[in-house]
Amino acid sequence: MDRSREVVDLVLPRLRNTLFLASIAALIAVPLSLLLGVSTALYRNTFYDRSVNMATLTTISFPEFFVAYLLILFLASLYPVFPSLANVDADTLFGERLYRAALPALTLTLVIVAHMMRMTRAAIINLLASPYIQMARLSGASPAEVILKHALPNAWAPIATVIAFNLAYLVVGVVVVEVVFVYPGIGQLMVDAVSMRDIPVVQGCALIFAVTYILLNLIADIIGIITNPRLLHPR
């Protein structure tokens, strides 16, 4: 790392790489977690529900570096589908960048899908005991219609909160994943700066992490207010 360069010149290219990786993981994880959460709530206490819950609990129990090493073992060593090192630069084409970032993106996806899926499932099941849900069932609505039309719109506040928390993790918590895959992101830059005692770069990275976390939680709070009529129109 060149300590003679400005902090902005060092941070911005790495920040773009981290945002690219986080965007890939979010585009996969958010729809997948919502789909799994809604489907397990719809078919709760079935074999499908138990299987998905067991898989998500297993994923949650593993630390992210262990998941990363398992993916490297199976998808890069035993069955070489993706590269084990995600070394990209400014001249790397989009397709090649996507290919090299596949394993770190898959690691982040597996880590955050479990949290978002379980929160979605819990929020919907908690609402299924509400009186208006019972009224919808008595009016002849199908189970899918009850969940999608009546329960899910009222569960957006807790779901948005956990999604925002996990999206913040995609930027703030990628340090271990970037180090394992040698991905040139802001987490790797922070580790290099700490080892070289480059305090301005460490402060810049920490500031970006803090701003990202605060902004995403603010957005989650706004979504929670907008989707809750009692908070949007207080008496």
Instruction: Please provide the distance, in angstroms rounded to a whole number, between the alpha carbons at the two ends of the chain.
Output: 57
In a domain, 161, yes or no: yes
In a domain, 2, yes or no: no
In a domain, 82, yes or no: yes
Per the structure, the complete domain to which residue 210 belongs is given by 7-232
From 92, 117, 116, select the one nearest 21 (Cα to Cα): 92
In a domain, 207, yes or no: yes
In a domain, 118, yes or no: yes
pLDDT at 216: 87
Number of domains composing the chain: 1
Under-70 pLDDT residues of the chain: 1-5, 228-235
CB atoms within 10 A of CB 146: 21
Q: Which residue has the tokens 């779901």?
A: 159
In a domain, 137, yes or no: yes
In this structure, what CATH number is given to the domain that contains residue 152?
1.10.3720.10
pLDDT at 232: 63
- Single pTM value for the model: 0.85
Residues with Cβ within 8 Å of 209's Cβ and at least 6 positions away in sequence, in order, are: 171, 172
pLDDT at 230: 65
In a domain, 1, yes or no: no
Which three-class secondary structure state does DSSP give residue 81?
A: coil
> Angle, nearest 10°, between helix axes 102-127 and 47-61?
130
191 neighbors 181 (Cβ within 8 angstroms): no
User: How many Å apart are CA 125 and CA 108, to the nearest integer?
Assistant: 26
User: How many Å apart are CA 223 and CA 124, to the nearest integer?
Assistant: 17
Residues with Cβ within 8 Å of 55's Cβ and at least 6 positions away in sequence, in order, are: 114
